Structure 1
Amino acid sequence: MNANQCIKIAVYSLDLPHYACADLRIVTPFRKLREHLDFRWAVQDCNGQSRIDAEPAEWADLIVVQRYFPLKETSPLLEIILASGKPVVFEIDDLLLDVPPTHPLFHNFQKTAPFIRQLIPKVDVVTVSTDALRDRLLEFNPNTLTLPNFIDEAAVTPAIPLADPMKTVIAYMGSPTHDQDLKFIEDALFRVKEKFGEATEFIFWGCAGTRLAKLGRVIPFDDSYASFLKSLGKIHFDIGLAPLADNAFNRCKSNIKWLEYSAHARTGIFSDLEPYRESVEHGKTGMLVGDDPKEWFEALEYLISNPDQRKAMGRAARKDAFARFGLSKGVHRYLELYKGLLKR
């Protein structure tokens, strides 16, 4: 194809384009590259049912298949796509081959796992969000590459000023699938409330069990990632929480919570696991803690009692996040990958 010609990409994903994974991994980066590529979302939602269109695959120069699209029902279309001779990229940002039974969507992912396992060796490239996930998938396809999540600087609005400087607002943000991750820090959060009382406020955004719902304000989950980012800039919080239960699935997750909190210059407390170890410099751009509730209490106690250090961490985290993971600095990696595939 001509070097100046737009690359045409068909995307086959059962995620709606406004969902977080679709937005972060495909829609926003592709829109940033609109001068270089054109894309069509090949799956439409029709009253809760997915309508899959084969035509974009014929139109495209390159095809991206995302996450749990591989299923028994989609296998015939995938065989046609693989036989087309066009480059095929499988994009995945979770270890869907090893989902813990405690995950609310375990049974759904069990249906897609064998078909993902069949597809991965057949595609030209597998793109993943973390090195840990890459290492788990390399045995299935040696052309597995890490394409990290990037935060869109243009989508981040300045956080609103604090209404009550004597109150520390502690927030958790996540989808409703994270109940198990929150459970092991519940006691720590209640200890914080017991010690600091009205000087603290809790916000649970998108996920809160029955017990935690009594502790603070619950904001319903918003499945639009762009809408979530806009709201994030309008709601004040001082400390962000990112607990993760220690299992293979979570160890392959990305640093997205650090990126979201840091982009708004807010200090976070993060589980000391792979998703955050390579991003967070403990005590400088956030805090890393183990799975002992006592460690979470002590980290919260420190940040509540030392607001100047907390704010300095938030500012340093924002600078670091944009420097290493700003979309404007990393989006070229998508274009380089796709151009390279089309030259083969």
Structure 2
Amino acid sequence: MVKLKKNKKLKILLLPGAFHSPSARFRIWQFVEPLKASGYEVVTRVPIPDRNYKGRKLFSNKWEKIPIKIKSIIRLISSMWMLRDLRRFDYVIANRDIVPDVKIKFLEKIVILSGVKFIFDFDDAIHLGAREKKLSEFLPACYYITPGNAYLAEYAQKLNNNVKIIPTVVNTEKYKPISFRKPGKLRIGWSGSSSTNIYCLPILKNVIETLSFKHDFEFIIISDKDPKINWIGVQSKFLLWRPETEITNLQHLDIGLMPLNDSPFERGKCGLKAIQYMALGKPALVSPVGVNAEIVTHGVDGFHCYNEADWIKYIETLILNPDLLIDMGKNARIKIESKYSVDYAMNIWKSILL
């Protein structure tokens, strides 16, 4: 483990970009306390309105009634204010671009010109499309780039030699398997945002319908918006996603599903849902797209499902073999503790923040 230099308390400015988005929570916010405990001085700043204000339907959102142009101006001013005292910090760590607008390119340049060591963190294929030109203008000057997987690292390495993969991880002190099973039918679950369920859930429709004719189980959907599926013969239940119930709802699943289409954008995803299921001792069945194929070891802590036949086969395998389900869940937990925990990621961060 890397140790800090004596008598030197390094100062870090964290810019997560949002309060509640998964990227901000799992890439930045959950490291605030571990960094402080490791001897760093940490300041965290978020622009107002934050990057995720459009998606925060669960919270009181006064920004919805304000015209977009005015919101953009307010956010830009707020973002500039966040950078008012850069020289007091040793490092600035930003999750994605400071303002998610391809036309606003000067904020990252302000950070770099200040002389502070600028670390750019990202966990989605944000370089695909209009953002690529913006990113290519400042990424070469970053002190480090910390992508969430090898696919993103391949892009980053074309622009900068200082690249270290930091996988998306969970706090294994909070994400713990429960010692009892909630009474009721077998629960097969999918968790995701309303922006992704229109792409992911159709992959599972025929699968869940087919299995429902043969087996008695409940299909659980956890999301910020009810997709209101009406699948033939399926006993489904919708659970509204909330920060305070996220872990509890996932704990009571028996099997976790993470379907994806195979596209350049999906290959950039960092497998958060699979990691969450596995941390809670649930086998994860995934489309082996991008890092999913690495997170889940086929037949050990979950299954790789390439097509509908695979999804049906491997879900049914677990339905019919409860002992295998339990054993895979235990293996899944071990995997997360060793490779996808906050402690694991903190060791990588400490090797950068010297």
**RMSD (Å) for aligned C-alpha atoms:** 2.4
**Contact persistence 1:42–1:54 (CA under 8 A):** no
CA offsets 1:202-240 (integer angstroms, 9 cap, x no match): 110116644358751112233x4xx3544346x511100
Counterparts in 2 of 1:67 and 1:77: CA distance versus 1, 3 Å? closer
Secondary structure, counterpart of 1:237 in structure 2 = coil
CA offsets 1:107-147 (integer angstroms, 9 cap, x no match): xxx4x443223221221211111011101222122222201
Q: Does 1:302 align with 2:317?
A: yes
Find the counterpart in structure 1 of residue 343 from structure 2: 328
Q: CA deviation at 1:255?
A: 2.8
> Partners of 1:56 and 1:41 in 2: how far apart?
13
Give 1:321's aligned amino acid: I
| Structural mapping, 1:1-344, within 5 Å | 3-16=6-19, 18-35=20-37, 36-45=39-48, 47-48=62-63, 49=71, 50=75, 51-52=78-79, 53-70=82-99, 71=101, 74-98=104-128, 110=130, 112-159=131-178, 161-164=180-183, 167-178=185-196, 179-196=198-215, 199-206=216-223, 209-211=227-229, 215-222=235-242, 224=243, 227=244, 229-232=246-249, 235-290=251-306, 292-339=307-354
> Partners of 2:228 and 2:132 in 1: how far apart?
31
Counterparts in 2 of 1:330 and 1:239: CA distance versus 1, 3 Å? same
> Partners of 1:158 and 1:298 in 2: how far apart?
26
Q: CA deviation at 1:284?
A: 1.3
> Partners of 1:8 and 1:183 in 2: how far apart?
47
Secondary structure, counterpart of 1:117 in structure 2 = helix
Secondary structure, counterpart of 2:42 in structure 1 = strand
Secondary structure, counterpart of 2:43 in structure 1 = strand
> Partners of 2:127 and 2:344 in 1: how far apart?
31
Q: CA deviation at 1:327?
A: 1.9
Secondary structure, counterpart of 1:331 in structure 2 = helix
> Partners of 1:159 and 1:272 in 2: how far apart?
27
Counterparts in 2 of 1:321 and 1:83: CA distance versus 1, 3 Å? same
Counterparts in 2 of 1:322 and 1:56: CA distance versus 1, 3 Å? farther
CA offsets 1:20-79 (integer angstroms, 9 cap, x no match): 212211221231121321222232435545322222424311111221425356433322
> Partners of 2:183 and 2:272 in 1: how far apart?
28
> Partners of 1:120 and 1:242 in 2: how far apart?
31
Query: Which blocks of at least 5 consecutive residues in structure 1 are unaligned?
Result: 100-109, 340-344
Counterparts in 2 of 1:96 and 1:43: CA distance versus 1, 3 Å? same
| Identical-pair percentage | 20
Aligned residues: 319
Q: TM-score, normalised by structure 2?
A: 0.82
**Contact persistence 1:161–1:236 (CA under 8 A):** no
Give 1:34's aligned amino acid: K
**Contact persistence 1:134–1:145 (CA under 8 A):** yes
CA offsets 1:221-268 (integer angstroms, 9 cap, x no match): 33x4xx3544346x5111000001100111121132222111111111
Q: CA deviation at 1:174?
A: 1.3
Counterparts in 2 of 1:72 and 1:310: CA distance versus 1, 3 Å? closer
Counterparts in 2 of 1:134 and 1:72: CA distance versus 1, 3 Å? closer
Secondary structure, counterpart of 2:248 in structure 1 = helix
Counterparts in 2 of 1:43 and 1:149: CA distance versus 1, 3 Å? same
